[in-house]
Structure 1
Amino acid sequence: MTQHPPPGPGFGPPPPQYTPAPPAYAPQPPYAQAPQPPYAQAPQPPYAQAPPPPQQATTGPDFLAVDKRNAVVVDASGVAFETSGHTVEFRWPEIRGVHYRASPDGKALMVAVVHMDGRFYECVVEARPRTRLQEWFPQLAWVLGHYRPAG
């Protein structure tokens, strides 16, 4: 029968001389600890002092025309165009005029914003089905008349 040597260091519990000494103080049980204050948080102002979010700040009618790539929005804040993922917003004080018409082939709504400095911006929204274009015209006229009355 072959005898094996005793296991080397690293096997089994450490010898008593390497055991850590007990702490000099006895830890308090959890129920005796003082309650910890919560993490510091920035003070929150009362709701009455906080400004409302932009989407709630607008009141009144709005108009929305959307296709796969483009959109036109007219609301209390002004006119916004979205073209292929890029958005341009025009606030009412910077708008000289808003014009709209059907495209030459009658398949799209063309909306133009004339800026106060004379620059001209246009967005074309495809109307599918084609009858939607005839629904958009009276809606757009009414909303524009609400925010930009003639006279």
Structure 2
Amino acid sequence: MLYQSPIKELVHDFKFNASSRAGMLLAELMLTKMPSQLGTALLAVPMHPQRARERGFNQAQWLAEQLSRRTGLPLIRAKCQKLAASQRTLNRRERVANLHGAFSLTGPLPAHITLIDDVVTTGATGNALAAVARQSGAERVDMWAVARTPLGNN
């Protein structure tokens, strides 16, 4: 799905107003567009603890917990140890640099895992987390998100 109305409004309500109703709708939408090969575990994009306290929750973790329950796949936890600038205002190059050294995992991981996030813009977050997952033993890392920004809008 593209990150446009009405999905954009649902994501915003979920992410910034902690609307569990919007979150449940987003999880249901994700389940209707489930990847054909999910791997053997889910891994939510982690949020720095300070950001999670400010927001009140980690939306990717919340979605991953819902999807884990519905698919029966275990949920692996990663850590975000770098309080980086918000990705929302950065261009592609800045996003990649911003995430350098941000994530950590304790392995070994299953051979095939699926990352969970709300919105994919440039793919920088997914790529940074996938690199750490591969260093921790994953051979294949896929991404499953609610939506992606339209090409040319990132």
Normalising to structure 2: TM-score of the pair?
0.21
Give 1 or 2: higher helix fraction.
Answer: 2
Identify, as 1 or 2, the structure richer in strand: 1
Which structure is higher in RCO with an 8 Å CA cutoff and minimum separation 6? 2
Instruction: Please identify the structure whose Cα radius of gyration is greater.
Output: 1
